[in-house]
Amino acid sequence: MTPKEVLAFAKEQGAKMVDLKFLDFLGTWQHFTVPLSELGESDFENGYGFDGSSIRGWQPINASDMLVIPDASTAVMDPFMAVPTLTMICNVTDPVTKERYTRDPRYIAQKAESYLKFTGIGDTAFFGPEAEFFIFDDIRYDGGSNFGYYYIDSVEGAWNTGRDEGPNLGYKPRHKEGYFPVPPVDSQQDLRTEMVLYMEQVGLAVECQHHEVATAGQAEIDMKAAPLVKMGDNLQWYKYVVKNVARRNCKTVTFMPKPLFADNGSGMHIHMSIWKEGQPLFAGDKYAGLSEMALFAAGGVLKHAAAICAITNPTTNSYKRLVPGYEAPVNLAYSSRNRSASVRIPMYSPSPKLKRLEIRFPDPSCNGYLAFSALLMAALDGIENRIHPGEPLDRDIYAMTPEELANVPSTPGSLEEALNALEKDHEFLLKGDVFTEDVISKWIEYKRENEVDAIRMRPHPHEFKLYFDI
Protein backbone atom coordinates (compact mmCIF):
# COMPACT_ATOMS: atom_id res chain seq x y z
CA MET A 1 0.00 0.00 0.00
CA THR A 2 0.96 3.61 -0.53
CA PRO A 3 0.58 6.16 2.30
CA LYS A 4 -2.65 7.41 0.71
CA GLU A 5 -3.96 3.83 0.49
CA VAL A 6 -3.01 3.24 4.13
CA LEU A 7 -5.11 6.22 5.23
CA ALA A 8 -8.05 4.97 3.16
CA PHE A 9 -7.62 1.47 4.55
CA ALA A 10 -7.57 2.79 8.12
CA LYS A 11 -10.81 4.69 7.52
CA GLU A 12 -12.45 1.68 5.88
CA GLN A 13 -11.50 -0.53 8.86
CA GLY A 14 -12.74 2.00 11.41
CA ALA A 15 -9.28 2.39 12.97
CA LYS A 16 -9.04 4.84 15.84
CA MET A 17 -5.38 4.30 16.81
CA VAL A 18 -2.09 3.64 15.02
CA ASP A 19 0.48 1.31 16.58
CA LEU A 20 4.08 1.78 15.44
CA LYS A 21 6.31 -1.28 15.85
CA PHE A 22 10.08 -1.56 15.48
CA LEU A 23 12.71 -4.07 16.52
CA ASP A 24 15.37 -3.52 19.16
CA PHE A 25 18.96 -4.65 18.66
CA LEU A 26 18.45 -8.08 20.24
CA GLY A 27 15.19 -9.01 18.55
CA THR A 28 12.21 -7.86 20.65
CA TRP A 29 9.44 -5.77 19.13
CA GLN A 30 8.96 -2.33 20.68
CA HIS A 31 5.97 -0.06 20.05
CA PHE A 32 4.12 3.11 20.82
CA THR A 33 0.65 4.24 19.75
CA VAL A 34 -0.82 7.49 18.41
CA PRO A 35 -4.40 8.49 17.59
CA LEU A 36 -5.35 8.07 13.94
CA SER A 37 -5.66 11.85 13.71
CA GLU A 38 -1.88 12.03 14.17
CA LEU A 39 -1.21 10.01 10.99
CA GLY A 40 -0.92 11.95 7.73
CA GLU A 41 0.86 11.34 4.45
CA SER A 42 3.79 13.53 5.56
CA ASP A 43 4.40 11.24 8.57
CA PHE A 44 5.56 8.51 6.19
CA GLU A 45 8.53 10.78 5.48
CA ASN A 46 8.92 12.82 8.66
CA GLY A 47 8.28 9.97 11.12
CA TYR A 48 7.77 10.04 14.87
CA GLY A 49 10.33 10.72 17.58
CA PHE A 50 11.32 8.43 20.45
CA ASP A 51 14.09 7.94 23.01
CA GLY A 52 16.78 5.73 21.49
CA SER A 53 18.78 5.58 24.74
CA SER A 54 16.04 3.46 26.32
CA ILE A 55 16.40 0.72 23.68
CA ARG A 56 18.84 -2.10 24.44
CA GLY A 57 22.15 -1.73 22.64
CA TRP A 58 21.27 1.57 20.97
CA GLN A 59 22.03 5.24 21.62
CA PRO A 60 23.84 6.95 24.51
CA ILE A 61 21.72 9.38 26.53
CA ASN A 62 23.50 12.41 25.05
CA ALA A 63 22.37 11.44 21.53
CA SER A 64 19.08 9.76 22.31
CA ASP A 65 16.62 11.32 19.83
CA MET A 66 15.59 8.91 17.06
CA LEU A 67 12.80 8.67 14.48
CA VAL A 68 10.63 5.78 13.37
CA ILE A 69 9.37 5.96 9.78
CA PRO A 70 6.28 3.81 9.12
CA ASP A 71 6.58 1.39 6.19
CA ALA A 72 3.24 1.72 4.40
CA SER A 73 3.60 -1.71 2.78
CA THR A 74 3.38 -3.38 6.21
CA ALA A 75 0.02 -1.87 7.27
CA VAL A 76 -2.53 -4.26 8.79
CA MET A 77 -5.09 -4.15 11.56
CA ASP A 78 -3.70 -5.45 14.86
CA PRO A 79 -6.02 -8.32 15.83
CA PHE A 80 -5.36 -8.13 19.58
CA MET A 81 -6.31 -4.55 20.41
CA ALA A 82 -9.70 -3.84 22.01
CA VAL A 83 -9.94 -0.55 20.07
CA PRO A 84 -9.58 -0.88 16.26
CA THR A 85 -5.87 -0.24 15.70
CA LEU A 86 -3.89 0.07 12.49
CA THR A 87 -0.32 -1.13 12.90
CA MET A 88 2.82 -0.74 10.81
CA ILE A 89 6.42 -1.90 11.06
CA CYS A 90 8.83 1.03 11.06
CA ASN A 91 12.35 1.81 9.91
CA VAL A 92 14.63 3.74 12.27
CA THR A 93 16.32 6.99 11.22
CA ASP A 94 18.65 9.59 12.72
CA PRO A 95 16.67 12.85 13.08
CA VAL A 96 19.71 15.05 12.40
CA THR A 97 21.33 13.36 9.40
CA LYS A 98 18.12 11.69 8.15
CA GLU A 99 20.23 8.61 7.51
CA ARG A 100 19.09 5.10 8.37
CA TYR A 101 20.30 3.81 11.74
CA THR A 102 23.01 1.18 11.35
CA ARG A 103 21.88 -0.78 14.43
CA ASP A 104 18.31 -1.14 13.17
CA PRO A 105 18.09 -4.88 12.38
CA ARG A 106 15.56 -4.30 9.60
CA TYR A 107 18.00 -1.95 7.86
CA ILE A 108 20.70 -4.62 8.03
CA ALA A 109 18.31 -7.07 6.35
CA GLN A 110 17.42 -4.52 3.68
CA LYS A 111 21.11 -3.96 2.97
CA ALA A 112 21.65 -7.73 2.71
CA GLU A 113 18.95 -7.91 0.04
CA SER A 114 20.54 -4.99 -1.81
CA TYR A 115 23.97 -6.60 -1.63
CA LEU A 116 22.64 -9.82 -3.14
CA LYS A 117 21.41 -7.84 -6.15
CA PHE A 118 24.69 -5.91 -6.33
CA THR A 119 26.70 -9.13 -6.64
CA GLY A 120 24.67 -10.19 -9.67
CA ILE A 121 24.49 -13.70 -8.24
CA GLY A 122 20.75 -13.45 -7.66
CA ASP A 123 17.99 -10.99 -6.92
CA THR A 124 15.95 -12.75 -4.21
CA ALA A 125 16.88 -14.87 -1.21
CA PHE A 126 14.02 -16.93 0.19
CA PHE A 127 13.94 -17.99 3.83
CA GLY A 128 11.62 -20.41 5.58
CA PRO A 129 12.20 -20.74 9.35
CA GLU A 130 10.65 -23.57 11.37
CA ALA A 131 10.36 -21.89 14.75
CA GLU A 132 9.60 -24.22 17.66
CA PHE A 133 8.28 -23.05 21.02
CA PHE A 134 6.80 -24.28 24.30
CA ILE A 135 3.28 -23.56 25.54
CA PHE A 136 3.25 -23.69 29.35
CA ASP A 137 0.55 -23.22 31.98
CA ASP A 138 2.79 -21.65 34.61
CA ILE A 139 6.26 -20.17 34.81
CA ARG A 140 7.92 -18.71 37.90
CA TYR A 141 11.51 -17.59 38.21
CA ASP A 142 13.54 -15.30 40.42
CA GLY A 143 17.03 -14.82 41.76
CA GLY A 144 19.06 -12.79 44.19
CA SER A 145 22.39 -12.86 45.99
CA ASN A 146 21.23 -15.78 48.16
CA PHE A 147 18.75 -17.67 45.98
CA GLY A 148 17.86 -18.61 42.42
CA TYR A 149 15.15 -20.81 40.93
CA TYR A 150 12.68 -21.44 38.14
CA TYR A 151 9.53 -23.51 38.15
CA ILE A 152 7.69 -24.61 35.01
CA ASP A 153 4.39 -26.41 34.82
CA SER A 154 2.17 -27.74 32.07
CA VAL A 155 -0.99 -29.82 32.17
CA GLU A 156 0.75 -31.86 29.45
CA GLY A 157 3.94 -32.33 31.48
CA ALA A 158 5.05 -35.95 31.83
CA TRP A 159 5.90 -35.19 35.47
CA ASN A 160 2.19 -34.64 36.23
CA THR A 161 0.91 -38.18 35.69
CA GLY A 162 0.61 -38.61 39.46
CA ARG A 163 -0.80 -35.19 40.35
CA ASP A 164 -4.27 -34.93 41.89
CA GLU A 165 -6.08 -32.92 39.24
CA GLY A 166 -9.59 -33.86 40.34
CA PRO A 167 -9.56 -35.98 38.22
CA ASN A 168 -6.24 -36.57 36.46
CA LEU A 169 -7.16 -37.97 33.02
CA GLY A 170 -3.65 -38.93 31.98
CA TYR A 171 -2.87 -38.41 28.28
CA LYS A 172 0.39 -36.61 28.98
CA PRO A 173 3.10 -37.05 26.32
CA ARG A 174 6.10 -38.89 27.68
CA HIS A 175 9.51 -37.25 27.37
CA LYS A 176 10.55 -37.17 23.70
CA GLU A 177 7.23 -38.69 22.56
CA GLY A 178 5.28 -35.57 21.60
CA TYR A 179 5.88 -35.99 17.83
CA PHE A 180 3.01 -36.38 17.18
CA PRO A 181 0.10 -38.37 18.64
CA VAL A 182 -3.49 -37.27 18.02
CA PRO A 183 -5.73 -35.71 20.67
CA PRO A 184 -6.38 -36.22 23.54
CA VAL A 185 -2.62 -36.77 24.08
CA ASP A 186 -2.11 -33.65 21.95
CA SER A 187 -4.21 -31.30 24.06
CA GLN A 188 -3.28 -28.14 22.16
CA GLN A 189 -4.60 -28.82 18.67
CA ASP A 190 -7.31 -26.16 18.87
CA LEU A 191 -4.96 -23.63 20.46
CA ARG A 192 -2.42 -24.00 17.64
CA THR A 193 -5.20 -23.74 15.06
CA GLU A 194 -6.34 -20.49 16.69
CA MET A 195 -2.76 -19.24 16.35
CA VAL A 196 -2.75 -20.16 12.65
CA LEU A 197 -6.02 -18.32 11.99
CA TYR A 198 -4.68 -15.15 13.62
CA MET A 199 -1.47 -15.47 11.59
CA GLU A 200 -3.49 -15.65 8.40
CA GLN A 201 -5.49 -12.61 9.56
CA VAL A 202 -2.30 -10.50 9.59
CA GLY A 203 -1.13 -11.84 6.23
CA LEU A 204 1.13 -14.79 7.06
CA ALA A 205 1.00 -17.84 4.78
CA VAL A 206 1.05 -20.98 6.93
CA GLU A 207 1.87 -24.49 5.75
CA CYS A 208 1.09 -26.62 8.81
CA GLN A 209 0.95 -26.80 12.60
CA HIS A 210 1.75 -29.71 14.91
CA HIS A 211 2.95 -30.82 18.33
CA GLU A 212 6.71 -31.19 18.59
CA VAL A 213 8.86 -33.88 20.19
CA ALA A 214 9.04 -32.71 23.81
CA THR A 215 6.45 -33.15 26.51
CA ALA A 216 4.73 -30.14 28.13
CA GLY A 217 3.40 -28.44 25.03
CA GLN A 218 6.25 -28.12 22.56
CA ALA A 219 4.82 -26.85 19.26
CA GLU A 220 5.72 -25.83 15.74
CA ILE A 221 3.88 -23.77 13.11
CA ASP A 222 5.52 -23.54 9.70
CA MET A 223 5.27 -20.52 7.41
CA LYS A 224 5.73 -20.52 3.65
CA ALA A 225 9.10 -19.18 2.55
CA ALA A 226 9.37 -15.46 1.76
CA PRO A 227 12.10 -12.98 0.76
CA LEU A 228 14.55 -12.01 3.51
CA VAL A 229 13.08 -8.73 4.83
CA LYS A 230 9.52 -9.97 4.44
CA MET A 231 10.34 -13.10 6.42
CA GLY A 232 12.00 -10.97 9.09
CA ASP A 233 8.69 -9.10 9.38
CA ASN A 234 6.74 -12.36 9.33
CA LEU A 235 8.80 -13.93 12.10
CA GLN A 236 8.07 -10.96 14.34
CA TRP A 237 4.34 -11.31 13.64
CA TYR A 238 4.65 -15.05 14.27
CA LYS A 239 6.07 -14.54 17.75
CA TYR A 240 3.60 -11.76 18.52
CA VAL A 241 0.59 -13.85 17.49
CA VAL A 242 1.72 -17.00 19.30
CA LYS A 243 2.33 -15.18 22.58
CA ASN A 244 -0.90 -13.19 22.47
CA VAL A 245 -3.13 -16.13 21.56
CA ALA A 246 -1.53 -18.14 24.36
CA ARG A 247 -2.15 -15.34 26.85
CA ARG A 248 -5.80 -15.08 25.78
CA ASN A 249 -6.12 -18.75 26.66
CA CYS A 250 -4.37 -18.40 30.04
CA LYS A 251 -1.22 -20.02 28.67
CA THR A 252 2.28 -18.65 28.21
CA VAL A 253 4.81 -19.22 25.42
CA THR A 254 8.60 -19.23 25.42
CA PHE A 255 11.04 -19.30 22.52
CA MET A 256 13.90 -20.20 24.87
CA PRO A 257 15.89 -22.96 23.15
CA LYS A 258 16.17 -25.18 26.25
CA PRO A 259 13.64 -24.51 29.01
CA LEU A 260 13.33 -28.18 30.07
CA PHE A 261 16.00 -30.56 31.33
CA ALA A 262 15.97 -34.12 29.93
CA ASP A 263 13.84 -33.36 26.87
CA ASN A 264 14.25 -31.84 23.44
CA GLY A 265 14.99 -28.15 23.06
CA SER A 266 13.47 -25.77 20.52
CA GLY A 267 15.34 -25.20 17.30
CA MET A 268 14.59 -23.08 14.27
CA HIS A 269 15.68 -24.89 11.13
CA ILE A 270 16.05 -22.28 8.39
CA HIS A 271 15.42 -23.15 4.74
CA MET A 272 17.31 -20.93 2.31
CA SER A 273 17.51 -20.59 -1.47
CA ILE A 274 18.62 -17.94 -3.97
CA TRP A 275 16.67 -17.03 -7.10
CA LYS A 276 17.24 -14.78 -10.12
CA GLU A 277 14.62 -13.43 -12.51
CA GLY A 278 12.07 -15.85 -11.13
CA GLN A 279 14.27 -18.92 -11.51
CA PRO A 280 15.70 -21.06 -8.66
CA LEU A 281 19.50 -21.23 -8.64
CA PHE A 282 20.02 -24.03 -6.13
CA ALA A 283 18.70 -26.87 -8.35
CA GLY A 284 21.17 -28.76 -10.53
CA ASP A 285 22.82 -32.07 -11.32
CA LYS A 286 25.24 -32.26 -8.39
CA TYR A 287 24.81 -34.08 -5.06
CA ALA A 288 21.15 -34.46 -3.99
CA GLY A 289 20.00 -32.45 -7.00
CA LEU A 290 21.89 -29.33 -5.99
CA SER A 291 23.64 -26.90 -8.29
CA GLU A 292 27.33 -26.12 -7.91
CA MET A 293 26.26 -22.71 -6.59
CA ALA A 294 24.21 -24.34 -3.85
CA LEU A 295 27.16 -26.52 -2.81
CA PHE A 296 29.38 -23.43 -2.58
CA ALA A 297 26.67 -21.70 -0.54
CA ALA A 298 26.69 -24.66 1.84
CA GLY A 299 30.47 -24.42 1.98
CA GLY A 300 30.25 -20.78 3.02
CA VAL A 301 27.72 -21.51 5.76
CA LEU A 302 29.81 -24.38 7.13
CA LYS A 303 33.05 -22.40 6.98
CA HIS A 304 31.59 -19.48 8.93
CA ALA A 305 29.22 -21.49 11.14
CA ALA A 306 31.04 -20.81 14.41
CA ALA A 307 30.80 -17.06 13.88
CA ILE A 308 27.24 -17.29 12.58
CA CYS A 309 26.21 -19.06 15.80
CA ALA A 310 26.84 -15.83 17.73
CA ILE A 311 23.87 -14.43 15.76
CA THR A 312 21.69 -17.47 15.04
CA ASN A 313 22.16 -18.97 18.53
CA PRO A 314 22.62 -15.78 20.53
CA THR A 315 21.83 -16.79 24.12
CA THR A 316 23.69 -18.70 26.80
CA ASN A 317 20.66 -21.00 26.89
CA SER A 318 21.19 -21.80 23.18
CA TYR A 319 24.17 -23.96 24.11
CA LYS A 320 22.12 -26.07 26.50
CA ARG A 321 20.52 -27.34 23.28
CA LEU A 322 23.68 -27.55 21.14
CA VAL A 323 25.25 -30.39 23.10
CA PRO A 324 27.23 -33.17 21.35
CA GLY A 325 25.73 -36.66 21.45
CA TYR A 326 22.09 -35.60 21.49
CA GLU A 327 19.60 -34.69 18.77
CA ALA A 328 20.67 -31.12 18.13
CA PRO A 329 22.83 -30.92 14.97
CA VAL A 330 26.16 -29.77 16.38
CA ASN A 331 28.33 -31.49 13.75
CA LEU A 332 29.12 -29.17 10.86
CA ALA A 333 28.45 -31.38 7.87
CA TYR A 334 25.92 -31.53 5.04
CA SER A 335 23.76 -34.38 3.82
CA SER A 336 20.55 -35.25 2.00
CA ARG A 337 17.76 -36.46 4.26
CA ASN A 338 20.10 -37.01 7.23
CA ARG A 339 18.67 -34.86 10.04
CA SER A 340 21.78 -35.26 12.16
CA ALA A 341 23.72 -33.04 9.74
CA SER A 342 23.76 -29.32 10.45
CA VAL A 343 23.05 -28.56 6.77
CA ARG A 344 20.45 -30.81 5.20
CA ILE A 345 19.07 -30.98 1.66
CA PRO A 346 15.35 -31.85 1.97
CA MET A 347 14.25 -34.51 -0.51
CA TYR A 348 10.46 -34.19 -0.26
CA SER A 349 9.94 -33.10 -3.87
CA PRO A 350 11.87 -33.26 -7.17
CA SER A 351 10.67 -29.76 -8.12
CA PRO A 352 13.60 -27.39 -8.81
CA LYS A 353 11.61 -24.61 -7.09
CA LEU A 354 11.79 -26.52 -3.81
CA LYS A 355 15.53 -27.22 -3.90
CA ARG A 356 17.10 -25.50 -0.92
CA LEU A 357 19.50 -25.73 1.99
CA GLU A 358 18.10 -26.39 5.45
CA ILE A 359 20.41 -24.97 8.13
CA ARG A 360 19.55 -26.86 11.29
CA PHE A 361 21.66 -25.38 14.09
CA PRO A 362 19.85 -22.00 14.58
CA ASP A 363 17.24 -21.53 17.30
CA PRO A 364 14.20 -19.24 17.74
CA SER A 365 15.82 -16.95 20.32
CA CYS A 366 17.57 -15.16 17.45
CA ASN A 367 16.79 -11.83 15.81
CA GLY A 368 15.42 -13.04 12.46
CA TYR A 369 16.58 -10.06 10.42
CA LEU A 370 20.16 -10.53 11.64
CA ALA A 371 20.13 -14.34 11.43
CA PHE A 372 18.83 -14.45 7.85
CA SER A 373 21.26 -11.71 6.82
CA ALA A 374 24.25 -13.51 8.34
CA LEU A 375 23.33 -16.79 6.62
CA LEU A 376 22.92 -15.04 3.27
CA MET A 377 26.27 -13.26 3.62
CA ALA A 378 27.99 -16.56 4.47
CA ALA A 379 26.35 -18.27 1.49
CA LEU A 380 27.39 -15.44 -0.84
CA ASP A 381 30.94 -15.62 0.48
CA GLY A 382 30.93 -19.34 -0.29
CA ILE A 383 29.65 -18.72 -3.81
CA GLU A 384 32.02 -15.85 -4.57
CA ASN A 385 35.06 -17.75 -3.27
CA ARG A 386 33.96 -21.20 -4.52
CA ILE A 387 34.17 -22.76 -1.07
CA HIS A 388 33.35 -26.44 -1.52
CA PRO A 389 31.78 -28.11 1.53
CA GLY A 390 33.75 -31.34 1.08
CA GLU A 391 32.18 -34.76 1.00
CA PRO A 392 28.63 -35.22 2.32
CA LEU A 393 28.10 -37.13 5.53
CA ASP A 394 25.26 -39.55 4.88
CA ARG A 395 25.89 -41.80 7.87
CA ASP A 396 24.11 -41.46 11.20
CA ILE A 397 26.50 -39.03 12.88
CA TYR A 398 25.36 -40.11 16.34
CA ALA A 399 26.39 -43.72 15.62
CA MET A 400 29.94 -42.78 14.65
CA THR A 401 32.86 -43.39 16.97
CA PRO A 402 34.89 -40.52 18.46
CA GLU A 403 37.73 -41.43 16.11
CA GLU A 404 35.41 -41.17 13.09
CA LEU A 405 34.09 -37.83 14.30
CA ALA A 406 37.55 -36.37 14.93
CA ASN A 407 37.64 -34.64 11.56
CA VAL A 408 34.06 -33.35 11.68
CA PRO A 409 34.00 -29.83 13.16
CA SER A 410 31.34 -28.84 15.68
CA THR A 411 29.37 -25.76 16.58
CA PRO A 412 30.74 -23.73 19.52
CA GLY A 413 30.11 -25.13 22.99
CA SER A 414 29.05 -21.82 24.54
CA LEU A 415 27.95 -18.31 23.67
CA GLU A 416 31.39 -17.09 24.74
CA GLU A 417 33.05 -19.38 22.18
CA ALA A 418 30.66 -18.19 19.47
CA LEU A 419 31.34 -14.52 20.26
CA ASN A 420 35.09 -15.20 20.13
CA ALA A 421 34.60 -16.80 16.72
CA LEU A 422 32.58 -13.81 15.49
CA GLU A 423 35.28 -11.45 16.73
CA LYS A 424 37.87 -13.29 14.62
CA ASP A 425 35.69 -14.07 11.60
CA HIS A 426 33.32 -11.33 10.44
CA GLU A 427 34.87 -9.87 7.29
CA PHE A 428 32.27 -11.70 5.21
CA LEU A 429 29.51 -9.83 7.09
CA LEU A 430 31.02 -6.40 6.31
CA LYS A 431 30.76 -6.71 2.53
CA GLY A 432 28.43 -4.16 1.03
CA ASP A 433 28.32 -2.41 4.41
CA VAL A 434 25.57 -4.90 5.36
CA PHE A 435 26.85 -5.32 8.89
CA THR A 436 29.23 -2.65 10.17
CA GLU A 437 32.16 -2.84 12.57
CA ASP A 438 30.03 -0.84 15.00
CA VAL A 439 27.21 -3.38 14.85
CA ILE A 440 29.56 -6.35 15.31
CA SER A 441 31.51 -4.79 18.18
CA LYS A 442 28.38 -3.59 19.97
CA TRP A 443 26.75 -7.04 19.60
CA ILE A 444 29.80 -8.75 21.09
CA GLU A 445 30.16 -6.16 23.86
CA TYR A 446 26.49 -6.31 24.85
CA LYS A 447 26.35 -10.11 24.88
CA ARG A 448 29.54 -10.47 26.91
CA GLU A 449 28.65 -7.86 29.53
CA ASN A 450 24.91 -8.53 29.91
CA GLU A 451 24.61 -12.25 29.30
CA VAL A 452 27.87 -14.23 29.37
CA ASP A 453 29.23 -12.52 32.50
CA ALA A 454 25.81 -12.41 34.17
CA ILE A 455 25.46 -16.19 33.91
CA ARG A 456 28.98 -17.29 34.71
CA MET A 457 29.11 -15.15 37.87
CA ARG A 458 26.00 -16.72 39.41
CA PRO A 459 25.83 -20.05 41.27
CA HIS A 460 23.59 -22.63 39.60
CA PRO A 461 21.03 -24.50 41.76
CA HIS A 462 22.43 -27.85 40.64
CA GLU A 463 25.87 -26.86 41.92
CA PHE A 464 24.45 -27.09 45.45
CA LYS A 465 23.51 -30.73 44.80
CA LEU A 466 26.98 -31.42 43.52
CA TYR A 467 29.15 -29.43 45.87
CA PHE A 468 27.44 -28.17 49.04
CA ASP A 469 28.68 -31.02 51.24
CA ILE A 470 32.24 -31.25 49.88
| Angle subtended at Cα 23 by Cα 424 and Cα 206, rounded to the nearest 5 degrees | 100
The question of whether 360 is a catalytic residue gets the answer: yes
In sequence order, what are the residues at sequence separation of 6 or more whose Cβ sits closer than 8 angstroms to the Cβ of residue 210?
179, 180, 192, 219, 220
The question of whether 358 is a catalytic residue gets the answer: yes
Cβ atoms within 10 Å of 74's Cβ, excluding its own? 21
Catalytic choice (43, 71, 156, 220) = 220
Catalytic choice (5, 41, 51, 165) = 51
- Residue/partner pairs of 76-79 with CB below 8 Å, 24 or more apart: 76/202, 76/203, 77/13, 77/15, 78/19, 78/202, 79/198, 79/201, 79/202, 79/241
Are residues 135 and 173 in contact, defined by beta-carbon separation less than 8 angstroms?
A: no
The question of whether 463 is a catalytic residue gets the answer: no
Catalytic choice (211, 269, 271, 344) = 269
| Strand 17-23, strand 85-93: pairing | parallel
The single-letter DSSP state of residue 368 is: H
Q: Per-residue DSSP letters for 270-303? A: EEEEEEETTEESSBSSSGGGB-HHHHHHHHHHHH
In sequence order, what are the residues at sequence separation of 6 or more whose Cβ sits closer than 8 angstroms to the Cβ of residue 330?
322, 323, 324, 342, 361, 410, 411
d(CA 189, CA 182): 9
3-state DSSP call for residue 133?
A: strand
Q: Is 468 exposed, middle or buried (0-12, 13-18, 19+ CB in 10 A)?
A: exposed
**Helix or strand holding residue 239 (H, E):** helix 228-248
Catalytic choice (24, 43, 71, 132) = 132
The single-letter DSSP state of residue 106 is: H
Catalytic choice (130, 222, 381, 451) = 130
Catalytic choice (271, 344, 360, 426) = 360
**Helix or strand holding residue 445 (H, E):** helix 437-447
Percent of residues in the chain assigned helix, strand, coil, to nearest 5: 35, 20, 40
Q: Identify the CA nearest to 206 among candidates 134, 106, 128.
A: 128
Catalytic choice (339, 384, 425, 448) = 339
The question of whether 396 is a catalytic residue gets the answer: no
3-state DSSP call for residue 9?
A: helix
The question of whether 339 is a catalytic residue gets the answer: yes
The question of whether 212 is a catalytic residue gets the answer: yes
How far apart, in Å, do the first and last CA atoms of the chain sit? 67
Please state whether 8 falls in left (phi above 0), alpha (psi between -120 and 50) or beta: alpha
The question of whether 200 is a catalytic residue gets the answer: no
Catalytic choice (212, 222, 263, 363) = 212
Give the catalytic positions in this structure: 51, 130, 132, 212, 220, 269, 339, 358, 360
